[in-house]
Structure 1
Amino acid sequence: MVTQNISGLKNFFIFNPTLSTKEGEELQKILYYYPICDNTEVQIKNVGLVEGIIQFTDTFKPTSSASSLHTNKTRQLYFQPEKNYWMVMTLRLNQISKERNATGDAEELEDDIQDNVYEAMLKQAYYMYRLFWGTFQSVKDLSTLKMNIEIFYRTYLQSLKLPQADILNVFCGIQYLPLDKQTFLKVQCFVNLLESTFPIVPHTAFFYNEHLIWSGVEPSDMQVIYQYLSTSVFPANLETETQGSSRNSSSTLSALQRGRFIIGPSNLKLAKTVGKIPKVYLFGGSGTSELYFVIYKMSGASVCLFIKGDYELTVDFFKELNEFMNFNLVSVVSSITEYSSREVVTPCSETSPRFIYFNKLNLALKSTVHSDIKPSAAIKDSVKIIADINSLIPFLGSTGESIVKTMNDYWVIGKTSNSREFYIALQQKNASLIDISEEVSKLCETELKGIFFHSA
């Protein structure tokens, strides 16, 4: 079994080399540096080293800058999100004992740190910041920019789960909930009625049990919003509901089942002001737009409303919106719940195949690799192999297939075609390539219902 080799985040910093070109003023180019316990000399030294590495590697690869640096003790990732702005994340690797090192396991553990996984996490750190604060270049005052970055990353870096990162961080996909035509039409009619009744709501997203059903937001923006919801908002709300249920109060349970704002005024009966409503920046479509972000929840449904940022929100507006939701949303939620209850979900056993499906066009993700509370070592190894196969896609072309057989009789298959990727991990002893191909075709048919490709 391959052991996770990351012990934590060594440092994280953002800098702009054009902010200072004079000797003795190097600190001015640093916009943010973590950890704060590193003195200024250490910060200047680390930033200067990265700047030198980037300039040096640009000499040999002018079309794209270096993306990572490997050492025995660290792994450093680089990302240039905007012109002249660089983000750097350094991972601290676990120390390898002399006994293990003597056996030659050092190289194996070093390979356990997959660049594509942590490069994706570094990029996600920028896109999440941009969602709430806009681009770096949009803030002209340098002190304001530094303050915005410090406020955001002070909390965000604490939420990173580096040792648990895997191939799903690379995809950052969206889990959709497929519905029958009639039920989906009810959702679409509800959204159309909502946006026509409230013209200040140009975009809406409709979720049910954390799965997306409808979105009027560009996929690239929805991808970031979905990651925020699935990692922060939905888990926090679930914890609140669980605590409410554990108190076994009928009034509390009734309040949780009724429609309410989980981002917005929490108590409209007592509210005198709307409070602080967050804003988000969307970059798809014709240009950048700044919008209020509000979420209304009823039972398993969550409706995300993107409200024009120049509109003055009032308590009366939210009361009117709440009344509309309570009157029109009930039947829609009921239909979705009824349809979902008829869908049979087969639980994964320990020997069941694990798969990941990802569509680059609509960012749809379907996965069973995390279906186990405590996945086996073989499954963990298979997920790492999937990440390795994914990193080879640029070299394999848009259509291809890779097959890997592990020492513990697991077969890991990666298939790509028409901007779709499908990865399977299954355990088959004494199986041939023909046997594995037949198993993959069966899995495509049962799980993807013909949306992928098959052998003729």
Structure 2
Amino acid sequence: MTQKNRIVLQSFYIFNSTLCLKEGEEEKKILFYHPFSADIDTKIRSIGLVEAVIKFTETFNSKEPCNSVHTQKTRQVYLQVEPNFWMVMIVNVPNVSKTKDGTEYNEYQGDEIQDNVYISVLKQMYALFRLLSGTFQSLLDSSGVECLRQCLELFFPKHLLTLKFEHFDVLNIFNGMQYLPLNSITFLNVLCFVNQIQNHFPSIKSTAFMYNDSLIWTGIEPSNFQPIYQYMVTILLPAHVEIELKGGSMPRHSGFFSPSQPLHYCRYVIGPQSLTENSTVGKIPKVYVHSSATNQLEEYYLIVYRGFSSSVILFLDIKTDLTMELFTKLDTYMEPNLTKLGSDIAEYCSSQQIPSLITSVGDSGPRYVFFNNMNLAYKSTIHLDNRQSGNINISHEALKLIADIKSESITNSIFGETVVKTLNDYWVVGKFSNKREFYVAIQHKNANLIEISEEVKKLCDGELKGIFFQT
């Protein structure tokens, strides 16, 4: 009998070696350490070992610092997120308890943890922190090291609890966004709506529009909007939808309007909780969005308004005077428009019967992941949801193989193809064309390479016609 343990976080820390000016002050370089309960000697030794590894490996390749260390029982992943600032994640290597000749032993499975996946997770963690608080260096320069430590201690303990280490996979590498395709009329209505908002309210510098977890429009470049999208779908919307469901599919939010007024199905997710009972707008968060034009972070107030499964994300000038009058005017303008738009989008989505070559869940039909590096769009029939809950449609081995193909692919190559056959009769194909990537997993015992190529071509034509260009 075998029993396999899960991948769990052993430690996570952030340090800056330049904060330690002389021997005996090693504690000063520690900015954040999880678990907090670890004694100071353990923290100093752990960071000292990482510093030694990084320094030693620089003698072999100074341009590409060490990013991981493999041991039998742990996997250590390093990432320099800013000059002199390092984030380190250490997870246990899963093992299977086995018995042979009456003796029990552990068999460690290091190939279960893929470096490129966990490095991507560190990048996402940093991007989310930077979105909500700014860069480490800017906090250090403006407020001092103690303020930086406080910000890290406020953010990371809660965020670490949300991570599902055993379910990380190739989606973390892509870190893409789901787009919702609409017909031309509905999409133009959305575009007209967001443009009119900005025209009516000059303090709004940019706008984005989402329907459930899918993006329809953003005025911010996709690469810069990516952390905001992840914040919406992983943190903000799940908590709000849970509240909505407790009150029914279309609840009337009590306290938002008086009982004598008509039903009001739209409200601020980030903004005033009530426009009638409160005299203050409450705490409105600031976000720091990278600008490709200036190559710097630009600071905005973030407002999110939601109704009928639609979310309007507003980025307000940081100099804006946030008054109740402003939020009331925004609500008065957006509510009737969002009510109609949300209903139109829902009606369009329910009326669509998109033909698909993908058969029912649980069968052995082809599954695929598509990713477009140009707009960071992804589409997956391998994952049954985008919550990374382990709800996948193919074998774990095939899913890891896709991440391996992604890692081995030549990023500068315009065209290419990789085909791999596994021992359990899975064919995994990776195709690269015009900065688009297409990965297919097919379980077919007696197929040959020609048959698999034809099936992949048929899948491209049927599912991604006009999106993925084959050679």
In structure 1, what is the equivalent of residue 345 of structure 2? 336
**How has the CA–CA distance of structure 1 residues 273 and 361 changed in structure 2, closer, same or farther, with 3 Å as cutoff?**
same
* Aligned with 1:365 (options 348, 358, 378): 378
CA distance in 1, matches of 2:390, 2:264: 32
CA distance in 1, matches of 2:348, 2:100: 55
**How has the CA–CA distance of structure 1 residues 337 and 144 changed in structure 2, closer, same or farther, with 3 Å as cutoff?**
same
In structure 2, what is the equivalent of residue 137 of structure 1? 137
In structure 2, what is the equivalent of residue 454 of structure 1? 470
Q: Which amino acid aligns with 1:42?
A: T
CA distance in 2, matches of 1:135, 1:125: 12
- Are the aligned partners of 2:4 and 2:97 in contact in 1 as well (CA < 8 Å)? no
**TM superposition shift of 1:79:** 0.4
CA distance in 1, matches of 2:367, 2:26: 50
- Are the aligned partners of 1:348 and 1:371 in contact in 2 as well (CA < 8 Å)? no
CA distance in 2, matches of 1:91, 1:316: 50
* Aligned with 1:230 (options 230, 233, 239): 233
**How has the CA–CA distance of structure 1 residues 376 and 203 changed in structure 2, closer, same or farther, with 3 Å as cutoff?**
closer
In structure 2, what is the equivalent of residue 72 of structure 1? 72
Q: SS at 2:445's partner residue?
A: coil
CA distance in 1, matches of 2:253, 2:231: 30
In structure 1, what is the equivalent of residue 266 of structure 2? 259
- Are the aligned partners of 2:32 and 2:152 in contact in 1 as well (CA < 8 Å)? yes
Normalised to the residue count of structure 2, the TM-score between the two structures is 0.90
- Are 1:295 and 2:309 matched, yes or no? no
In structure 2, what is the equivalent of residue 170 of structure 1? 173
CA distance in 2, matches of 1:316, 1:219: 32
**TM superposition shift of 1:85:** 0.7
In structure 1, what is the equivalent of residue 407 of structure 2? 391
In structure 2, what is the equivalent of residue 281 of structure 1? 288
**TM superposition shift of 1:279:** 1.0
CA distance in 1, matches of 2:253, 2:179: 33
Normalised to the residue count of structure 1, the TM-score between the two structures is 0.93
Q: Which moved more, 1:379-388 or 1:204-213?
A: 379-388
Q: Which amino acid aligns with 2:464?
A: L
Q: SS at 2:22's partner residue?
A: coil
User: Over residues 372-409 of structure 1, what are the superposed CA-to-partner deviations in whole Å (9 max), with x where a residue is unaligned?
Assistant: 89757952221111111111013794421111112222
Q: Which moved more, 1:298-307 or 1:364-373?
A: 364-373
CA distance in 2, matches of 1:250, 1:83: 49
In structure 1, what is the equivalent of residue 361 of structure 2? 349
**How has the CA–CA distance of structure 1 residues 3 and 218 changed in structure 2, closer, same or farther, with 3 Å as cutoff?**
farther
CA RMSD of aligned residues (A): 2.6
Q: Which moved more, 1:234-243 or 1:206-215?
A: 234-243
**TM superposition shift of 1:430:** 0.7
User: Over residues 54-83 of structure 1, what are the superposed CA-to-partner deviations in whole Å (9 max), with x where a residue is unaligned?
Assistant: 000000011110000000111000000111
- Are 1:268 and 2:275 matched, yes or no? yes
User: Over residues 134-178 of structure 1, what are the superposed CA-to-partner deviations in whole Å (9 max), with x where a residue is unaligned?
Assistant: 001112211111111111112111111111111111111000011
* Aligned with 1:205 (options 200, 203, 208): 208
Residues 48-87 of structure 1 aligned to structure 2 (within 5 Å): 48-87=48-87
Q: Which amino acid aligns with 1:448?
A: L
Q: How many residues align?
A: 451
* Aligned with 1:156 (options 154, 159, 170): 159
**TM superposition shift of 1:104:** 11
Name stretches of at least 5 consecutive residues in structure 1 with no aligned partner.
none
Q: Which structure: greater helix fraction?
A: 1
**TM superposition shift of 1:128:** 0.7
The sequence identity of aligned pairs, in percent, is 45
In structure 1, what is the equivalent of residue 335 of structure 2? 326
* Aligned with 1:239 (options 239, 242, 246): 242
